[in-house]
Structure 1
């Protein structure tokens, strides 16, 4: 979190967006229409989803940068106000800046969800050739039976079709298994990230309201002088408490819990083995797939196939829109 009482801490914001580039919102329509226009039929719809999620990430990244600039200008505006308003707006700027930082971090974790979904698309693309081969042999057999019903090639092709169908069955089974695994992993990443982000935003909002209590909004008559402001130490303590709450937040202590009703829990139990009558209780699937506290969380930058730079591959439409690499700056305001 930025250092307290140092308005110059926001000066670096003017240069922060240099490595990320300018958000190209005008390219969203083009990318949305062109996504999935090329490549195997099986992967087209998912390719479009991956492209749309990329647009969502770029929009969130823009919001993050603008939120930080809002923090800067709130602090600048408050400088010319009375002591209490000046101090509180300065500290509110700190909190809003932190929201921008959290949004920036959320984009990284959202990208991990998107990359995992993208891996399903790649698997789907690898299955398409086996489907095409099976269909091609089937068409050849049908054509020969129509033109040359007694052709010896029919027997050979039928044997090839048996092998092609066997290969296709294996590929389809792998696709089915991987799709389910990756789907659950991808949305676990997203929901864990959403949960942490939302809870931390709620923490900041709560401490922001505590700051507002330091502003004396009692009406005064013309010529009347307000009591001298003495809340500087209190505002600093509130900011420190907020920082401690954010630092110490862990999933296990989340304030919001999603508990299933008895009916929902019963309906969500599925039979795993009809003979033994074993079931799968989904009511406890609230646990995160991996988090920073457990050391199992994989940073988005280390995830294979991560980043915007890999979007222009054989399954994506060629684009004239400049690609944007998501960069992570090391520069962060130093706490006082």
Structure 2
């Protein structure tokens, strides 16, 4: 009679989504042939990530694979939290009126946390994709390093075997060109790494801040719901007073919905305040960076290297690799047709 299976009657964009449009679904939610990942599959992906590709990009490649494991684990947590929320609501149905109503509304709040976690995975993927772009530039720099090293080794070999060989002069000229190319590539790597690492973790921390603030909001309203349960002990045979909190519980849910809908970063309750010493040291660092950058235009150095022999060309094979290994992740079921969300029934006004 009073069951409510969704917090919102409609899914209109929130103020935060209007200010910062949500990203597309994460890459881990598509292209999977089998079910939820296992710990063995996680370990396989993590180890495989650092076993292939150029030496320069192996460590970051392994990090990218590990982050994919994190995201898939978060997907499972989000899904299971929504299932738990539904089960709580079903369990409370048979209880007294106050317990039934409050557990139902608590299920609504917990389900909303699951949906927030699912949205967080999408924003977390922005961070991971940006980190992958650093891995790609690392991989593109490796050929120039290898070429320079190869020429250096050839020169050393000839000087040892044939000190008067005319090839030495030719190779030394090639080495000069290779060093110039390598210098440009290393500058690109340095510049892009700094730019992308700041962008990547800005995505992650902004998403984490929004997620945690909204979960804190839900937790606060959840405690208000608990106050509607009368936990005064009764003696055997005594009858509790009739429950009259239906309107109050619906109002609390509505207040929570409004708080989530209207939340924006500018109104965040938690702020990170630096001490005077930290602020002064940070400002000094920013001033030094600004002074170094004045009069230097390095934008032309940020053009990506286009090397057909680069490992970057194999970037799109990552999902294919995961599918080949996904049989180890299978728990016996397909998840391509999973249905998100609970049956929505509008809250009575």
TM-score interval, smaller chain: 0.7 to 0.9
Q: How does 1:68-107 map to 2 (within 5 A)?
A: 68-107=82-121
Match of 2:210 in 1: 196
Task: Give 1:34 shift.
Answer: 1.6
Name the structure, 1 or 2, with higher relative contact order (CA <8 Å, separation 6+): 2
Task: Give 1:95 shift.
Answer: 0.2
Task: Give 1:274 shift.
Answer: 5.7
Match of 1:159 in 2: 173
Q: Is the 8 A contact 1:37 1:317 kept in 2?
A: no
Deviating runs (4+, > 6 A) in structure 1?
Answer: 17-20, 323-332
2:285 maps to 1:272: no
2:73 maps to 1:59: yes
Q: Tell me how far apart the structure 2 counterparts of residues 169 and 110 of structure 1 sit (CA, whole Å).
A: 33
Q: Tell me how far apart the structure 2 counterparts of residues 275 and 191 of structure 1 sit (CA, whole Å).
A: 28
Q: 1:5 aligns with which of 3, 6, 15?
A: 3
Q: Is the 8 A contact 2:123 2:203 kept in 1?
A: yes
Change (3 A) 1:122 1:273: closer
Q: 1:24 aligns with which of 37, 42, 49?
A: 37
SS of equivalent residue, structure 1 residue 229? coil
Task: Give 1:331 shift.
Answer: 6.2
Change (3 A) 1:183 1:245: same
Q: Is the 8 A contact 1:35 1:317 kept in 2?
A: no
The structure carrying a bigger helix percent of its residues is 2
Match of 2:247 in 1: 233
TM-score, normalization: structure 1? 0.81
SS of equivalent residue, structure 2 residue 72? helix
Task: Give 1:272 shift.
Answer: 2.8
SS of equivalent residue, structure 1 residue 320? helix
SS of equivalent residue, structure 1 residue 173? helix
2:216 maps to 1:211: no
Q: Is the 8 A contact 1:144 1:151 kept in 2?
A: yes
Q: How does 1:257-296 map to 2 (within 5 A)?
A: 257-268=271-282, 269-270=284-285, 271-272=288-289
Match of 1:44 in 2: 58
Unaligned runs of 5+ in 2: 8-28, 295-311
Change (3 A) 1:95 1:199: same
RMSD of aligned residue pairs (Cα, Å): 3.1
TM-score, normalization: structure 2? 0.78
